[in-house]
Amino acid sequence: SRGALAPDWLDVLAMRLSGAAAANAIYRLGLGSGVYHSRAGFGHSSVSVAKRLGMVAAVNHSAAHPLFFEFLRANSGRFPADGERPNVGFFWSSIWRDIDRADVIIVDSRFVLESCVRAGADRSRLRLVYEGVDDEFLRYLPPQPEPRIGGSGRFLFAGSFCVSKGAEVLLKALSQSQGTYSIRVAGDVDAQTKADMRDLLGDPRLTFLG
């Protein structure tokens, strides 16, 4: 933690304060049974308090396991080979400790589940719950025409446009394509992405909506 950046310290401090406030609420409300559910990183002391009072602690985590998160970003989605030990920073170490406290780890994709198993999490503690669209909902949508497949296409990217969301892969594919594709981005572009991909971000087929 000695080499941690100031923003990481602030993030972890905020999450610990959130956990302390939740722990106080558990005591104040007199909770002592049932399930205590928190987001990985925001539980901290509240998870230990809930377990001590007899509650089952469930934590949900929707990204790669903290052991691999930065490594995957730096290596284009490749998991470390045998003998490679990823360096885990202060921020992700804090989230990792929070995950380890839980009785049940709720993940939202097979990829996240696989990363947790690779990191040594007991498979019996993992529960895969997709955060997708209920299939029943699809029955109520009006019929849609078949998608056109040709030499052009329009795409919409909604969300934070950054390395961990595949921005670099998308931009490189766009730069190598000769097709008449256009991509609109609705969301934030972080400063690091702007600095690292200045040339790629200048592609005229790319439009930023804010």
Radius of gyration of the chain (CA): 21
> For residues 121 and 65, is the Cβ–Cβ distance under 8 A?
yes
Under the banding of pLDDT at 50, 70 and 90, the label for residue 1 is very low
Q: What is the pLDDT of residue 118?
A: 93
**pLDDT tens-digit series, residues 72-109:** 888 878 899 988 889 898 899 999 999 999 999 999 88
pTM of the predicted model as reported, rounded to 2 decimal places: 0.68
φ, ψ at 161 (rounded to 5°): -90, 95
The average confidence (pLDDT) of the chain is 86
Listing DSSP states for the chain in one string gives -TT--HHHHHHHHHHHHHHHHHHHHHHHHT--SSEEEEETTT-THHHHHHHHTTPEEEEEE-SS-TTTHHHHHHTTTPPPPTT------HHHHHHHHHHHH-SEEEESSHHHHHHHHHTT--GGGEEE---S--HHHHTTSPP-PPPP-SSEEEEEEES-BSGGGTHHHHHHHHHH--SEEEEEEES-B-HHHHHHTHHHHT-TTEEE--
The per-residue pLDDT for range 2-31, each reduced to its tens digit, is 455 788 889 899 999 999 999 999 988 888
* The predicted structure's pLDDT at residue 149: 59
Segment 26-67, tens digit of pLDDT: 988 888 788 999 999 999 999 999 999 999 999 999 999 999
Parallel/antiparallel/unpaired status of strands 152-158 and 180-186: parallel
pLDDT at 151: 62
> What does the pLDDT look like over 183-207, one tens digit per residue?
899 988 888 888 888 877 888 888 8
Q: What would the two tokens of residue 40 be?
A: 């990985």
Over residues 109-139, the pLDDT tens digits come to: 889 999 999 999 999 999 998 866 666 777 8
Q: Report the distance separating Cα 88 and Cα 11, nearest Å.
A: 16
